């Protein structure tokens, strides 16, 4: 992704927009003197709709994307798209492209969030993006600028790529998870959530947030004393002071993370592919669970999950309706994001359809994906024509994650023998990939609060009906660091690399124990993956060459 700054985006357009914002103030009420005009101008500035959570884009494909923002009050979202070159100048002639899109009216029903599902965009094209809300009288509010690029590849609307010389192939992305966990929130004294700035600095084409986008079950205090005596000082709000139970408390967790300037800056320029995991609701949850945690007055996980899911979907730049571009539906989070002929992303939901956490020794199949999702995954990955198939999972496949002294949160069951319980479902998926001769599958995840590279091989496994594959783990991006975990040998994993914190629940202060992954997919289709820390340091890397 070529360096691209806001300074040279739409210079003329922004100047015009600024002039337009001033005109109504002077004209209001027909005042003819500076003294008479001044109160109207002040009133306009005071009452105009603001963008308290910034702007974001998400699920961007070769010809579509979701545009998101939140208003300070009721109003309609308006977005302007302009095709630009890598220097930020508008394209001209046959390459020119400009469009104004209007979204739904933001109201209290969505916590004043709104989305636009932009479709029929030219592929391989960079867009300068301006977004604002109009109040019910049609007055334009505060505007914000950003950018995004559609994926390389053929375009269904016939326009083709107009990106001013952008390569027809080649893209990069980052992934991580675990934001504002274990009480480590926004510490403005150290620059806020600096891991997001490190990811942003790589100029990726998109970001996969692999889950735990918030920690609804982790209160954030104003101060935390670290083991070495340093005092961590959090920005705090009322909604993060306790476990989230009401819809407003869940929404407040998302609002909180978007108070961080690093998050807002990155989301304005880097499209997000968002997943959810457990902490969007509560730790290690599964459907039907009844909590015994004394912090909760609402003990039904199903009730909490419904509220948590509504807030998550309101605040993530993810389509609200199934429109054929992503396959997303209101009742379904798992989906495919096509990034052109090189790359398909398959986002999983390993929470909604999960059976209860047990010791995992059931001889019958139990679910972590659910039958419908497992069938979908097999079908869509097998029919994919993309060179690389990235499966973005909520949980690692072979790592043991306990839920109490006996039960497992993970699908791995602390038994290196033949698949049992939830392992049987994954065994069926892996076996189907082999049977259907699927090539170039890579699994990415976060969740376990350290980074690692795992290679799975039937030669080391108790279950052998699958082809070898890699799994890469990266996180947290702003939470406590833990690990490493213990591997279960059922699918033959081997640790090629890992890096964990110096002690359990190490804070994000140094940045050395916060992690993200980076993938550079070159025009030659070489998949170069690296694991990095929140200071931008490369800890480990590997080149994967595609099988043809």
Q: Which residue has the tokens 């001209």?
A: 92
Rounded to an integer, what distance in angstroms lies between the CA atom of residue 489 and that of residue 268? Answer: 42
Q: Which of 133-147, 164-178, 333-347 is least confident?
A: 164-178
Burial of 199 (0-12, 13-18, 19+ CB in 10 A): buried
Looking at the predicted structure, is the pLDDT value of residue 40 above 90?
Answer: no
Task: Determine contact, residues 117/90, Cβ cutoff 8 Å.
Answer: no
- pLDDT, tens only, 248-290: 999 999 999 999 999 999 999 999 999 999 999 999 999 999 9
Superfamily of domain 50-167: Purple acid phosphatase-like, N-terminal (2.60.40.380)
122 band by pLDDT with thresholds 50, 70 and 90? very high
Token pair recorded at residue 103: 């979204």
Q: Where in the chain is the domain with CATH 2.60.40.380?
A: 50-167
pLDDT the model gives residue 310: 94
Q: Where in the chain is the domain with CATH 3.60.21.70?
A: 171-544
Considering the chain, what percentage of its residues have pLDDT values greater than 70?
87
Nearest to 444 by CA among 188, 45, 126, 174: 174
Phi-psi region of 464 (alpha: psi -120 to 50; beta: other; left: phi over 0): alpha
Q: Which of 15-24, 119-128, 136-145, 249-258 is least confident?
A: 15-24
Looking at the predicted structure, is the pLDDT value of residue 534 above 70?
Answer: yes
pLDDT the model gives residue 24: 30
Count CA atoms closer than 13 A to 177's CA, side-chain side. Answer: 28
257: CB partners within 8 A, 6+ apart: 179, 180, 186, 193, 213, 214, 263
Looking at the predicted structure, is the pLDDT value of residue 29 above 70?
Answer: no
Looking at the predicted structure, is the pLDDT value of residue 38 above 50?
Answer: no
Task: Give the pairing type, strands 171-176 and 493-499.
Answer: unpaired
pLDDT the model gives residue 330: 60
CATH number for the segment(s) 171-544:
3.60.21.70
Q: Which of 12-26, 135-149, 507-521 is least confident?
A: 12-26
- pLDDT, tens only, 88-116: 899 888 788 999 999 989 999 999 999 99
Burial state string for 58-88 with b = 16 or more CB within 10 A and e = fewer than 16: bbbbbbbbbbbbbbbbebbbbbbbbbbbbeb
Task: Give the pairing type, strands 388-392 and 441-445.
Answer: parallel
For 397, phi then psi, to 5°, come to: -80, -40
Rounded to an integer, what distance in angstroms lies between the CA atom of residue 366 and that of residue 377? Answer: 17
Average pLDDT over every residue of 461-473: 98
Average pLDDT over every residue of 191-195: 98
pLDDT the model gives residue 46: 58
Token pair recorded at residue 99: 């469009």
Looking at the predicted structure, is the pLDDT value of residue 207 above 80?
Answer: yes
476: preceding bond cis by omega (within 30 degrees): yes
Q: Which residue has the tokens 């995991």?
A: 277
CA distances from 353 to 281, 302, 333, 373, 457 (A): 14, 12, 11, 9, 27
Dihedral angle of Cα 212, 171, 513, 312, to the nearest 10 degrees? -10
Average pLDDT, rounded, for the chain:
89
Rounded to an integer, what distance in angstroms lies between the CA atom of residue 523 and that of residue 529? Answer: 15
- The dihedral built from the CA positions of residue 266, 267, 272 and 278, taken in this order, carries a sign that is positive
Burial of 383 (0-12, 13-18, 19+ CB in 10 A): exposed
CA distances from 408 to 218, 411, 417, 418 (A): 21, 7, 16, 17
- The dihedral built from the CA positions of residue 135, 139, 144 and 145, taken in this order, carries a sign that is positive
Looking at the whole model, is its pTM more than 0.85? yes
Task: Determine contact, residues 401/485, Cβ cutoff 8 Å.
Answer: yes
pLDDT the model gives residue 510: 97
In the chain, what is the straight-line distance between the N-terminal and C-terminal CA atoms, in Å?
26
395 band by pLDDT with thresholds 50, 70 and 90? very high
Q: Which residue has the tokens 């101060």?
A: 223
Which residues does residue 231 pair with via DSSP β-bridges, in sequence order?
Answer: 225
Looking at the predicted structure, is the pLDDT value of residue 164 above 80?
Answer: no
Count CA atoms closer than 13 A to 76's CA, side-chain side. Answer: 11
Q: How far is CA 372 from the centre of its chain?
A: 23
Task: Determine contact, residues 40/28, Cβ cutoff 8 Å.
Answer: yes
For 30, phi then psi, to 5°, come to: 70, 25
Looking at the predicted structure, is the pLDDT value of residue 427 above 60?
Answer: yes
Angle, in degrees to the nearest 10, between helices 11-27 and 34-47: 120
- The dihedral built from the CA positions of residue 357, 359, 360 and 364, taken in this order, carries a sign that is negative
Looking at the predicted structure, is the pLDDT value of residue 153 above 90?
Answer: no
Nearest to 199 by CA among 543, 546, 523, 533: 533
Phi-psi region of 152 (alpha: psi -120 to 50; beta: other; left: phi over 0): beta
pLDDT the model gives residue 161: 44
User: Residues in the chain, how many?
Assistant: 548
pLDDT the model gives residue 320: 67
Rounded to an integer, what distance in angstroms lies between the CA atom of residue 391 and that of residue 377? Answer: 9
pLDDT the model gives residue 5: 45
- pLDDT, tens only, 313-338: 999 999 865 444 444 456 589 999 99
Q: In a 3-state reduction of DSSP, which class is residue 433?
A: helix
Task: Determine contact, residues 319/347, Cβ cutoff 8 Å.
Answer: no
């Amino acid at each position: 992704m070529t360096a691209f700054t806001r300074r040279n985006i739409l210079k003329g357009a922004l100047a015009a927009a600024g002039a337009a914002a001033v005109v109504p103030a002077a004209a209001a009420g027909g005042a003819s003197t500076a003294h008479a005009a001044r109160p109207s101008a002040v009133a306009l500035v005071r009452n105009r709709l603001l963008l308290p959570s910034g702007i974001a884009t998400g699920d961007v494909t070769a010809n579509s994307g979701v545009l998101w923002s939140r208003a300070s009050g009721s109003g309609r979202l308006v977005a302007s798209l302009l095709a630009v070159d890598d220097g930020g100048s508008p394209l001209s002639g046959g390459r020119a492209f400009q469009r104004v899109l209007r979204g739904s009216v933001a109201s209290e029903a969505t916590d004043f969030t709104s989305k636009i599902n932009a479709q029929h965009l030219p592929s391989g094209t960079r867009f300068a993006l301006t977004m604002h809300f109009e109040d019910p009288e049609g007055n334009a509010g505060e505007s914000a600028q950003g950018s995004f690029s559609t994926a390389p590849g053929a375009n269904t609307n016939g326009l083709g790529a107009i990106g001013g010389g952008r390569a027809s192939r080649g893209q990069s992305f980052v992934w991580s998870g675990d934001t504002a966990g274990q009480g480590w929130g926004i510490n403005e004294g150290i620059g806020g959530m600096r891991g997001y700035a490190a990811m942003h600095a790589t100029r990726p084409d998109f970001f996969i947030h692999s889950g735990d986008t918030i920690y609804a079950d982790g209160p954030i205090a104003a101060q935390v004393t670290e083991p070495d005596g340093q005092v961590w000082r959090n920005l705090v709000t009322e909604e993060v002071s306790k476990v989230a139970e009401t819809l407003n408390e869940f929404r407040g967790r998302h609002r909180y993370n978007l108070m961080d300037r690093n998050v807002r800056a990155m989301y304005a320029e880097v499209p997000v592919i968002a997943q959810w995991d457990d902490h969007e609701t509560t730790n290690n949850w599964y459907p039907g669970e009844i909590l015994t945690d004394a912090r909760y007055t609402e003990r039904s996980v199903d009730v909490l999950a419904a509220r948590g899911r509504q807030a998550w979907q309101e605040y993530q730049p993810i389509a609200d309706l199934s429109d054929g571009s992503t396959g997303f539906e209101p009742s379904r989070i798992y989906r495919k994001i096509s990034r052109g002929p090189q790359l398909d992303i398959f986002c999983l939901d390993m929470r909604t359809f999960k059976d209860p956490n047990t010791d995992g020794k059931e001889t019958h199949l139990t679910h972590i994906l659910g039958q419908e999702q497992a069938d979908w995954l097999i079908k869509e990955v097998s029919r994919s024509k993309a060179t690389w198939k990235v499966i973005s999972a909520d949980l690692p496949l072979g790592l043991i994650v306990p839920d109490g002294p006996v039960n497992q949160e993970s699908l791995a069951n602390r038994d290196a023998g033949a698949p049992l319980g939830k392992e049987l479902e994954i065994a069926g998926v892996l076996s189907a990939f082999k049977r259907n001769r699927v090539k170039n599958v890579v699994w990415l995840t976060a969740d376990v609060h350290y980074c690692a590279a795992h290679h799975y091989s039937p030669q080391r496994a108790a279950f052998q009906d699958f082809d070898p594959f890699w799994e890469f783990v990266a996180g947290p991006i702003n939470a406590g660091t833990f690990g490493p975990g213990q591997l279960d040998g059922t699918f033959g994993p081997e640790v090629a690399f890992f890096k964990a914190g110096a002690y359990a629940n190490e804070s994000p202060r140094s940045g050395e124990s916060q992690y993200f992954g980076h993938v550079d997919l070159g025009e030659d289709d070489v998949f170069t993956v690296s694991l990095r820390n929140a200071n931008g340091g490369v800890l480990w890397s590997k080149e994967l060459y595609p099988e043809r």
